[in-house]
Chains A and B, each alone.
Chain A
Amino acid sequence: MSEDIFITEERIEGADDGPLAGRTVAVKDNISTEGVRTTCGSKMLAEYVPPYDATVVERLKDAGATIVGKANMDEFGMGTTTETSHFGATDNPAAPGHVPGGSSGGSAAAVAAGEADLALGSDTGGSVRCPAAFCGVVGIKPTYGLVSRYGLVAYGNSLEQIGPFGETVADAAELLDVIAGSDERDATTREAPLEAGETYVDAATGDVDGLSIGVPTELLEGADEGVVETFWDAIADLEDRGAEYHEVSLPSVEHAVEAYYVIAMSEASSNLARFDGVRYGQSGGYDGNWNETFAKAREEGFGDEVKRRILLGTYALSAGYHDKYYKKAQDARAWVKQDFDEALDGADVLASPTMPVPPFELGESLDDPLQLYLADANTVPVNLADLPAISVPAGETDGLPVGLQLIGPAFGERRLIRAASALA
């Protein structure tokens, strides 16, 4: 594979028939597949073969889908470019020489390159929507609790959801129909709020007549000019079809990036404590005491970005700093939720560019972690607020894909699917 889309290319056949019979699906490599290695893009888990399927993988198989491979990703989902993968960077099929976005870059690239009809990714702070935008495909980040996380290797578990990719909104919605719904193995899930006979895919009618769109001005500030221009063209397109827009203000989102990173890093420092090289993963050997061997396993098994986040998370939770960082970040999270609730009282959906910038060139952005974190400004507020969002292709700037993000109320996926399907 010239684009380095898959970490492991192996076919897993599903049931003979079902709603996804004949459809191929790429699965992000942090979603457990029984008998097929699941690396999380990390040297730590380079040989790890899960003894069970994630709930979403069980549902794919039951629906008749054929899994074609485990898609490349930023190590443990930590990145915006897929360049932190231990297995090398993925090229962007829609913009060769550029990153596919991340962290679910392989999943989006698989759909963009036609290597799979559909794909699954996971979105902790934008990791489905960013690569969807950069690769010119559709990606959905479901409401927290709509899709089971059982078998998803945890990074920031209060923030993340598994989400579908497709070439069109209807494709992604079809996959959402298969994976959504409660799971007794994930107590944070609930049943999809659909009326009898209703599905997500049948909401993809493209009907936006009378739709009220709020545009948060904070999410346009500082964005690339070409991106903003493409965004307004897409809004104008929706207006032509009967939608109307008005500007709204979300003052809290000015603090969303720092709140997100404090919470995600704190959760990561705890979740990744399980990687000690004893039950699975890179071993630190058996010389010396356990603190020494665990520290050695983790030095050898983790890459830079993962170490950075574990250390900063440990720092943010340590004695004397907890109130200053973690507690304030939780305040900011509550504030962001309130802001979104108020804005969505006056609008059906909110719209922004998915990413404030077009895809970076490969290798361009690795040296300055903080600058890269700031590129997540438009996606992380949605995870803090537990809301659903969709990224849909809006057009191009200088030949590079631009994504439009629509954000809806909790469990309002049908509304997002209807609105976004007017564009793709």
Chain B
Amino acid sequence: MSDDAVSPEEVRHVAELARVDLADEEVDRFTGQFADILEYFETLDEVPAVDRDADLANVMRPDEERTSLDSEDALRNAPETEDGYFKGPNVS
């Protein structure tokens, strides 16, 4: 890697941003693999700037009330619920 060598600390930082806990052994393995993969991604530097003239049209629909899942169905896969709501961990 040129000036962006991947360190174990960087892998831990990104894992924290992505909300994925990693075991120490995973951090070691990913550090080596990420260095290889990111070095390969560096070749994107050779890509010229290109006009991106996508010929696309927005697809709109009227903003009308429609049927949706009822809450019982929506809650069925939740590990825990309370009073008809999803139960999540503490926010702070």
Contacts and interface: CB of A to CB of B under 8 A. Distances in A.
A298 B20 CA distance: 5
Contacts of A241: none
A311 B36 contact: no
Contact of A311 (B30, B48, B87): B30
B61 A184 contact: yes
A366 interface: no
A370 B40 contact: yes
A288 B91 CA distance: 9
A310 B20 contact: yes
Contact of A279 (B19, B49, B86): B86
Interface string B66-90: 0001000110111110000011111
Contact of B46 (A52, A255, A330, A338): A255
A278 B17 contact: no
Given A307-B26, A312-B37, A52 B69 contact: yes
Contacts of B59: 187-188
Contact of A258 (B41, B49, B51, B79): B41
A14 to B, nearest CB: 22
Given A49-B76, A49-B77, A307-B22, A290 B41 contact: no
A358 interface: no
A278 B78 contact: yes
Contacts, number: 150
Nearest to B66: A184
A280 B48 CA distance: 43
B87 A255 contact: no
B61 A307 contact: no
A316 B4 CA distance: 12
A291 B41 contact: no
Contacts of B69: 51-52
A269 interface: yes
A223 to B, nearest CB: 19
A328 interface: yes
A289 B88 CA distance: 10
Nearest to B79: A283
A295 interface: yes
A285 B40 contact: no
Contacts of A49: 76-77
B2 to A, nearest CB: 11
B14 A332 contact: no
Nearest to A293: B89
A276 B79 CA distance: 11
B44 A262 contact: yes
B86 A299 contact: no
A261 to B, nearest CB: 7
Given A51-B69, A258-B41, A370-B36, A299 B22 contact: yes
Residue among B18, B40, B48 with the most chain A CB within 10 A?
B18
A262 B22 contact: no
A124 to B, nearest CB: 18
A329 interface: yes
Given A288-B90, A290-B90, A295-B19, A311 B14 contact: yes
Nearest to B11: A311
Interface string B29-57: 01001101110110111111111100000
Interface of B: 10-11, 14-23, 26, 30, 33-34, 36-38, 40-41, 43-52, 59, 61, 69, 73-74, 76-80, 86-92
Given A262-B41, A278-B78, A279-B74, 12 more contacts: A261-B41, A278-B89, A281-B79, A294-B19, A307-B30, A312-B34, A316-B41, A324-B45, A331-B44, A332-B47, A334-B52, A369-B33
14 contacts: A51-B77, A257-B40, A269-B18, A278-B89, A279-B74, A290-B91, A299-B20, A304-B26, A311-B18, A311-B34, A329-B44, A331-B52, A338-B50, A370-B37
